[in-house]
Amino acid sequence: MNRTFVTLTLLLVACGSGEWTVTTWGEDYIEQGIPASEFADGCSVTFDAFEVEILQAALVDGNDEVVADVPATAFDLTTAGPQTVGTVDAPARLFDTARFRIGPADGPSVRAAGQLTCADATVSFDWTFQTDTTYDCEPDDLVVPSGGVAETEFTIHGDHLFYDGLDNPDAELRGQAWIDADGNADGTLTLEELSAVSVAGLGYEVGPYSEVEDLAAFVTHLTRTVGHVNGEGHCRVDL
């Protein structure tokens, strides 16, 4: 860190408070759909709903103490965004960590509903999850200016639900196994049907998560990886 930036940060700390604004966005993949060009097997997805219950959006100091907390609520990310979560007063200073939590409140923590198409076959899905996940994110140069506003985006990556690996940086999007999981061929794919499909039989990678044995458990785990910061910024997650 250069001397000028250190000096600026010290000045900000001495100068009172500013505001921190949090937004959330599902990007084009949730708003407009995931095109076939992004899937290794040529499938595609459109979402009718992609809801997340944001229980916490907070600035955290070096002692792991919350110093600013935005009242949060549920959002449907198929609505054009970014959407504003809220604004809160915060000390004027540099912050290393923005903390976000997605968890169940009055409803599910995550709900994904839409259509998956592979070749000439389409299934509808409407899945709800009760996972509870905290994301500790480190946005670059998150400085709340005295008398000004800093903004952080909690970005949700809906494409993660169709990864073929849980702990693989080279995981690809695939859909055919999900289409095939529609056991009664009624065009509606349920989590119960996914629970009947062995991950081992598909060759999907679970990494250290050996307890994940079926596709329902697999996609449930993937819901805990959807949170990012400011687009592609990664967050620490205790899985």
Whether the predicted pLDDT of 182 surpasses 90: yes
User: Using CA atoms, how far apart are residues 145 and 19, in angstroms rounded to an integer?
Assistant: 8
| pLDDT tens, residue by residue, 184-228 | 999 999 999 999 999 999 989 999 999 999 999 999 999 999 999
Residue 239 lies in a domain: no
| pLDDT tens, residue by residue, 2-17 | 544 444 444 444 458 8
User: Using CA atoms, how far apart are residues 108 and 98, in angstroms rounded to an integer?
Assistant: 23
Residue 238 lies in a domain: no
Q: What confidence tier does 62 reach under pLDDT thresholds 50, 70, 90?
A: confident
Q: What is the pLDDT of residue 239?
A: 65
Whether the predicted pLDDT of 125 surpasses 80: yes
* Of 79, 164, 183, 77, residue with least CA distance to 123: 183
The overall pTM is greater than 0.85: yes
Residue 135 lies in a domain: yes
Task: Please provide the DSSP assignment of 113-144 as one string.
Answer: EEEEEETTEEEEEEEEE---EEEEE--TTEE-
Q: What confidence tier does 141 reach under pLDDT thresholds 50, 70, 90?
A: confident
- Which H or E element spans position 5? helix 3-13
Q: What is the pLDDT of residue 10?
A: 45
User: Using CA atoms, how far apart are residues 115 and 113, in angstroms rounded to an integer?
Assistant: 7
Backbone angles phi, psi at 45, to 5 degrees: -135, 140
Cβ–Cβ < 8 Å for 58, 187? no
- Hey, what long-range contacts does 212-215 have (CB within 8 A, 24 or more apart)? 212/166, 215/177, 215/178, 215/181
| pLDDT tens, residue by residue, 72-90 | 899 999 999 899 999 999 9
Q: Which two tokens stand for residue 211?
A: 């307890």
Q: What is the pLDDT of residue 12?
A: 44
Q: What is the pLDDT of residue 11?
A: 45
| pLDDT tens, residue by residue, 7-54 | 444 444 445 889 999 999 999 999 999 999 999 999 999 999 999 999
Cβ–Cβ < 8 Å for 108, 93? no
Number of H helices, E strands in the chain: 6, 15
Q: What is the pLDDT of residue 71?
A: 86
User: Using CA atoms, how far apart are residues 208 and 24, in angstroms rounded to an integer?
Assistant: 30
User: Using CA atoms, how far apart are residues 148 and 146, in angstroms rounded to an integer?
Assistant: 5
Q: What confidence tier does 168 reach under pLDDT thresholds 50, 70, 90?
A: confident
Residue 60: alpha-carbon gap to chain centroid: 19
Domains of the chain: total: 1
Residue 237 lies in a domain: no
Domain that holds residue 72: 3-231
State the burial class of residue 2 (Cβ atoms within 10 Å of its Cβ: 0-12, 13-18, 19+): exposed
User: Using CA atoms, how far apart are residues 222 and 138, in angstroms rounded to an integer?
Assistant: 21
